[in-house]
């Protein structure tokens, strides 16, 4: 049986592969709950639920590793959002973020990066982790690979708080209070200087490294705004009180400390031209804008994010970078300069081209898998690894092509793994005319042989011609079976994300080459020799040049068998087909089912969910997203400078079934639609007047809930569920019946002081019957709501619901307690009813 950690990793990998934000958010909520205090100063105040803490303890994992799962899942969610946002014609800024809990606060708060990620002109590739140290960031240098993969020109950096305050550091810096001492006297100057200089040293390491490796990348960093120490607080109030410092001096003392840190960090701008300091002092807001001693509320984080927006706009406006997009506040200007794809060279048109070769796989063994790319697939009988052969052949082919006047880039030049999107991005950022992903094959019987070259199911004509040229040269040089023969036009197609046109420049021809079958003993012996690998490299170079020279087209004789190999590994994962099932088609048309492929996995389009003759159109999706945008704008306009915000920024998916992930809807239409399509799958919306419905809910003047939240369809209505497609949107004549229940829930939310997630509202009679609901269920009358709170126990939610029910005659109705499933039912039927499910 898999241990708990391996099972978690599997679920995360599957969710990332399927672009499944819902499952990732559900995992966070299933595993974690709110904690009284964080373990480290710039950590998130969450903890594993007891049942999982015990299980992880039995697996021998340390507590810090247990918390690592929250960061890992939160980071995975952001990677999916980044992938979805950049999958299409994204024309905005690609940004890498590295930082602590001001950059990533899993589960409870909408941090700075969450706010910035909602901007349509920003796609943020996150490396952040609550509790992270600037020392670790400098030592690990995760940003190097991220910048290479994304081609980003901005790095947002947040760090130093844990280094300055963690492990009792503040207590060591504080001086015992005696009467007459000023705030500055209550800090040991030498110790504070040493602590700040150590942090600045780590910043300097990062900035120096970036100057050398990525001279065009600009870094935006910050210090922290002045918080409000809390009596008994673990990180500020506690140490200050222990030092005997009067409460009236707590904030002034911390102000001296943070000012010293801020001023020193700001001074790095004079040394490093690639660094901009964003001063957040006085920007978060008053005491109501702070969630705890160290973290702002959602609205406080939002004000900090606005400072970064302004700084980025100012930098671009000052000529920091030429871009082909128009960021917020900047008029569209000159285009982004791209490297030339052709240089002057002798011989033929196309000589001197920029060619990108992609050595397949790489890196360390499972459970590590990056964006659909596994560390290795095929293995020879004597242990030869595919990943080692692909990079060897790529290097040899690079040498041949360079000797002929071409420029060649490898997606990886060492033993590391790259995500499929990142591999394609190397070619896209360079506008390369040629991209070839190199692989070796394997079969279940270990008897198959031959060469095959694939294009994507949405391939361009250029890719088709490159496929023909490479396949012809490889077959001629190696004398192996032509596995493309017998397929229409000599072309094999598969839905590999690394080849998708969405991931490449329009002019790029891209193919995936399966050289031969490594798992055959005779082939492995040949592959061990330099001469044979040189022959492979030369043939590949010849094929690329043939394409560049003439745009060669050709036809081949019929051959082929029923084996399937490495080339369809990802397609099998995407489609949940077995090896045998795909082998019957020998790869033809894999992924060609109307899906758009991103990073090697199919992102289902509307047609994948709709039954013939009915379905949810993108017009309805747009109406929902527009209503959310309107709601958010109105709430933002109404919020005062010190208000703590509302649920809009706090919402996340909960897995009692399926609820809408409102937190992710505003990223872009594409990402919002990706979430909404499965939720509203098979829902007939043509007769639903969304505008009138929104106006109806708006007149209820709810403080915490938007109109769309009352349209949740229920977990069993989603594709593949037991009652898929049986629910409907609430009929107009029933809308008034939700009014009092919605107002009741709004008051419950106010009293609980934490986000409330709506799990189920309206059920059609057919859906109610299918899921085994009561025959007279008030859900069918659009009068009942099932919900869960983000904080506290189900018993506390139950008490709050009953208290609110007593507060107004209009709220008289049923309150149901569901302890095991952790949710509460409320309705306003007009008489009291109580039960436990």
CATH number at residue 404: 3.40.630.40
Q: Encoding tokens for residue 406? A: 């071409």
The answer on pLDDT for 437 being more than 90 is yes
In this prediction, residue 560 carries a pLDDT of 29
In this prediction, residue 331 carries a pLDDT of 31
In this prediction, residue 646 carries a pLDDT of 26
Would you say residue 83 lies in a domain? yes
Do 415 and 505 have their domain in common? Answer: yes
Would you say residue 89 lies in a domain? yes
Rounded Cα distance, 560 and 484, in Å: 8
Of 270-279, 311-320, 748-757, the range with the lowest mean pLDDT is 311-320
Q: Are 509 and 435 in contact (CB under 8 A)?
A: yes
More confident residue, 68 or 270: 270
Mean pLDDT of the chain: 77
Q: How many domains does the chain have?
A: 3
In this prediction, residue 54 carries a pLDDT of 62
pTM passes above 0.75: no
Does residue 367 have a cis peptide bond before it, meaning omega lies within 30 degrees of 0?
A: yes
Write the pLDDT tens digit of every residue in 771-812: 877 888 899 999 999 998 877 788 889 999 999 999 999 999
More confident residue, 381 or 664: 381
pLDDT band at 510 (very low <50, low <70, confident <90, very high): very high
Sign, CA dihedral 609-661-121-372, equals negative
The crossing angle, in degrees rounded to 10, of helices 618-638 and 669-679 is 120
The answer on pLDDT for 552 being more than 50 is no
In this prediction, residue 398 carries a pLDDT of 94
Among 593, 621, 647, the domain-final residue is 593
% of residues, the chain, pLDDT over 70: 75
Please state the φ and ψ torsions of residue 377, each to the nearest 5 degrees.
Answer: -130, -75
In this prediction, residue 723 carries a pLDDT of 81
Q: Which domain holds residue 79?
A: 4-317
In this prediction, residue 250 carries a pLDDT of 93
Write the pLDDT tens digit of every residue in 334-357: 222 222 222 223 233 445 678 999
In this prediction, residue 23 carries a pLDDT of 81
Would you say residue 336 lies in a domain? no
Write the pLDDT tens digit of every residue in 155-212: 999 999 888 887 788 999 999 999 999 999 999 999 999 999 999 999 999 999 999 9
Would you say residue 343 lies in a domain? no
200-205 long-range contacts, CB within 8 A, separation 24+ = 200/264, 200/265, 200/268, 202/134, 202/135, 202/137, 202/138, 202/159, 202/163, 203/134, 203/138, 203/157, 203/159, 203/160, 203/265, 203/268, 204/268, 204/271, 204/272, 205/138
pLDDT band at 319 (very low <50, low <70, confident <90, very high): low
Beta strands in 35-159 (DSSP E): 46-48, 93-99, 122-126, 154-158
Quote the DSSP letter at residue 616.
-
The answer on pLDDT for 722 being more than 80 is no
Report the greatest alpha carbon distance in the chain. 96
The answer on pLDDT for 818 being more than 90 is no
Do 155 and 119 have their domain in common? Answer: yes
Do 108 and 44 have their domain in common? Answer: yes
Sign, CA dihedral 67-72-75-77, equals negative
In this prediction, residue 502 carries a pLDDT of 84
Nearest to 532 by CA among 479, 576, 470, 458: 479
Q: Are 149 and 422 in contact (CB under 8 A)?
A: yes
Residue 686's contacts (CB-CB under 8 Å, 6 or more residues apart) are 617
Going by their DSSP bridges, the two strands 354-359 and 434-441 should be labelled as parallel
The answer on pLDDT for 729 being more than 60 is yes
The number of beta carbons lying within 10 Å of the beta carbon of residue 669 is 17
Q: What is the CATH number of the domain that holds 677?
A: 3.30.1380.10
Rounded Cα distance, 53 and 286, in Å: 36
Mean pLDDT, residues 11-32 taken together: 80
In this prediction, residue 220 carries a pLDDT of 98
Q: Are 505 and 432 in contact (CB under 8 A)?
A: yes
Write the pLDDT tens digit of every residue in 273-300: 999 999 999 998 887 788 888 888 888 8
The answer on pLDDT for 726 being more than 70 is yes
Would you say residue 346 lies in a domain? no
Q: Are 223 and 264 in contact (CB under 8 A)?
A: no
% of residues, the chain, pLDDT over 90: 37
In this prediction, residue 233 carries a pLDDT of 81
Do 308 and 215 have their domain in common? Answer: yes
CA dist 239 to 173, 189, 231, 324, 462, Å? 10, 17, 10, 51, 67
**Burial bucket for residue 357 (CB in 10 Å: 0-12, 13-18, 19+):** buried
More confident residue, 135 or 22: 135
User: Which ranges in 87-141 belong to alpha helices (H)?
Assistant: 112-117, 134-140
Q: What is the CATH number of the domain that holds 107?
A: 3.40.50.1110
Mean pLDDT, residues 644-651 taken together: 26
In this prediction, residue 185 carries a pLDDT of 95
Going by their DSSP bridges, the two strands 218-222 and 275-278 should be labelled as parallel
In this prediction, residue 278 carries a pLDDT of 96
Mean pLDDT, residues 199-227 taken together: 95
Mean pLDDT, residues 82-86 taken together: 88
Do 555 and 644 have their domain in common? Answer: no
Would you say residue 12 lies in a domain? yes
More confident residue, 525 or 109: 525
Do 759 and 733 have their domain in common? Answer: yes
Do 803 and 657 have their domain in common? Answer: yes
In this prediction, residue 629 carries a pLDDT of 66
The answer on pLDDT for 116 being more than 70 is yes
Do 291 and 221 have their domain in common? Answer: yes
Residue in the block written with tokens 């599957």: 14
Residue in the block written with tokens 């590949």: 540
Rounded Cα distance, 260 and 196, in Å: 8
In this prediction, residue 366 carries a pLDDT of 60
Do 358 and 313 have their domain in common? Answer: no
Would you say residue 338 lies in a domain? no
Beta strands in 202-279 (DSSP E): 218-222, 275-278
The answer on pLDDT for 817 being more than 80 is yes
252-260 long-range contacts, CB within 8 A, separation 24+ = 252/183, 253/174, 253/183, 253/186, 253/187, 254/226, 254/227, 254/229, 255/183, 255/226, 256/183, 256/184, 256/187, 257/164, 257/170, 257/173, 257/187, 257/192, 258/223, 258/224, 258/225, 258/226, 260/192, 260/196
The answer on pLDDT for 561 being more than 50 is no
Mean pLDDT, residues 132-138 taken together: 91
Of 238-252, 613-627, 737-751, the range with the lowest mean pLDDT is 613-627
pLDDT band at 88 (very low <50, low <70, confident <90, very high): confident
Among 265, 289, 317, the domain-final residue is 317
Rounded Cα distance, 367 and 720, in Å: 27
Would you say residue 603 lies in a domain? no
Do 700 and 587 have their domain in common? Answer: no
Do 586 and 624 have their domain in common? Answer: no
Do 637 and 557 have their domain in common? Answer: no
Going by their DSSP bridges, the two strands 784-789 and 756-760 should be labelled as antiparallel
Among 317, 344, 363, the domain-final residue is 317
The answer on pLDDT for 816 being more than 50 is yes
């Amino acid at each position: 049986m898999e241990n708990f950690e391996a099972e978690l990793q599997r679920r995360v990998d599957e969710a990332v592969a399927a672009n499944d934000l819902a499952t990732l958010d559900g995992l966070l909520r299933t595993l974690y709950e709110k904690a009284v205090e964080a373990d480290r100063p710039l950590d998130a105040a969450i903890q594993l639920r007891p049942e999982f803490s015990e299980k992880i303890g039995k697996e021998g994992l340390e507590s810090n590793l247990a918390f690592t799962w929250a960061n890992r899942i939160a980071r995975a969610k952001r990677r999916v959002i980044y992938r979805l946002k950049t999958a299409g014609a994204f024309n905005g800024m690609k940004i890498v973020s590295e930082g602590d809990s001001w950059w990533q606060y899993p589960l409870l708060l909408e941090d700075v990066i969450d706010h910035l990620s909602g901007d349509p002109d920003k796609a943020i590739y996150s490396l952040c982790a609550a509790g992270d140290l600037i020392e670790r960031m400098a030592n690990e240098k995760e940003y190097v690979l991220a910048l290479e993969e994304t081609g980003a020109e901005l790095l947002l950096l947040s760090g130093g708080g844990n280094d300055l305050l963690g492990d009792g550091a503040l207590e060591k810096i504080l001086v015992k209070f005696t009467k007459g001492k000023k705030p500055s006297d209550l800090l040991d100057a030498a110790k504070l200087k040493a602590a700040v200089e150590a942090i600045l040293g780590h910043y300097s390491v990062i900035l120096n490294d970036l100057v050398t490796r990525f001279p065009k990348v600009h870094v935006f960093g910050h210090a922290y705004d002045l918080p409000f120490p809390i009596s008994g607080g673990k990180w500020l109030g506690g140490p200050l009180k222990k030092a005997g410092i009067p409460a009236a001096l707590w904030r002034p003392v911390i102000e001296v400390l943070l000012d010293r840190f801020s001023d020193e960090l700001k001074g790095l701008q004079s040394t490093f031209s690639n660094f901009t300091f964003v001063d957040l002092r006085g920007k978060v807001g008053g005491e109501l804008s702070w969630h705890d001693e160290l973290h702002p509320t959602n609205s406080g984080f939002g004000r900090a994010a606005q400072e970064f927006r302004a700084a980025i706009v100012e930098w671009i406006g000052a000529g920091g970078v030429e871009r082909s997009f128009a960021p917020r506040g900047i008029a569209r200007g000159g285009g982004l300069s791209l490297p030339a794809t052709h240089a002057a060279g002798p011989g033929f048109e196309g000589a001197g081209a920029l060619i990108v070769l992609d050595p397949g796989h790489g890196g360390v063994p499972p459970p590590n898998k990056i964006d659909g790319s596994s560390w290795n697939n095929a293995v020879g009988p004597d242990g030869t690894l595919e990943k080692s052969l692909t990079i060897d052949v790529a290097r040899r082919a690079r040498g041949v092509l360079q000797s002929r006047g071409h420029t060649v880039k490898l997606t990886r030049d060492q033993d590391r793994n790259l995500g499929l999107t990142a591999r394609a991005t190397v070619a896209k950022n360079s506008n390369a005319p040629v991209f070839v992903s190199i692989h070796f094959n394997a079969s279940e019987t270990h008897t198959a042989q031959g060469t095959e070259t694939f294009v994507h199911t949405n391939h361009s004509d250029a890719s088709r011609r490159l496929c023909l040229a490479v396949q012809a040269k490889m077959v001629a040089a190696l004398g192996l079976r032509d596995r493309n023969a017998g397929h229409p036009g000599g072309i094999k197609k598969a839905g590999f994300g690394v080849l998708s046109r969405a991931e490449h420049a329009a002019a790029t021809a891209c193919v995936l080459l399966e050289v031969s079958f490594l798992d055959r003993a005779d082939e492995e012996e040949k592959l061990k020799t330099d001469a044979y690998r040189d022959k492979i490299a030369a043939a590949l170079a010849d094929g690329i040049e043939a394409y560049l020279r003439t745009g060669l087209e050709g036809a081949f004789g019929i051959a082929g068998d029923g084996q399937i190999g490495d080339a369809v590994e990802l397609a099998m994962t995407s489609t949940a087909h077995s090896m045998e099932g795909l082998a019957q088609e020998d790869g033809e048309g894999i992924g060609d089912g109307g899906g758009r492929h991103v990073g090697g996995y199919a992102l289902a389009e509307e047609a994948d969910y709709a039954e013939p003759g009915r379905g949810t159109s993108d017009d309805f999706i747009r109406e929902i997203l527009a209503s959310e945008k309107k709601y958010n704008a109105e709430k933002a306009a109404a919020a005062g400078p010190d208000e703590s915000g509302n649920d809009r920024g706090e919402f996340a998916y909960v897995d009692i079934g399926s609820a809408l992930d409102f937190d992710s809807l505003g990223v872009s239409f594409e990402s919002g639609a990706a979430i909404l399509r499965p939720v509203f799958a098979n829902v007939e919306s043509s007769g639903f007047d969304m505008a009138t419905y929104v106006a109806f809910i708006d007149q209820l003047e709810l403080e915490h809930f938007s109109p769309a939240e009352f349209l949740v369809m229920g977990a069993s209505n989603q594709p593949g569920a037991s009652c898929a497609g049986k629910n409907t949107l609430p009929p107009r004549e029933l809308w008034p019946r939700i009014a009092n229940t919605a107002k009741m829930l709004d008051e419950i939310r106010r009293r609980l002081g934490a986000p409330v997630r709506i799990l189920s509202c309206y059920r059609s009679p057919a859906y109610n019957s299918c899921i085994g609901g009561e025959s007279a269920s008030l859900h069918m009358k659009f009068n009942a709501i099932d919900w869960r709170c983000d904080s506290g126990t189900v018993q506390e939610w139950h008490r709050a619901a009953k208290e609110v029910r007593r507060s107004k005659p209009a709220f008289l109705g049923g309150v149901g307690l569901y302890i095991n499933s952790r949710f509460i039912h409320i309705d306003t039927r007009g008489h009291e009813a109580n039960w436990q499910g």
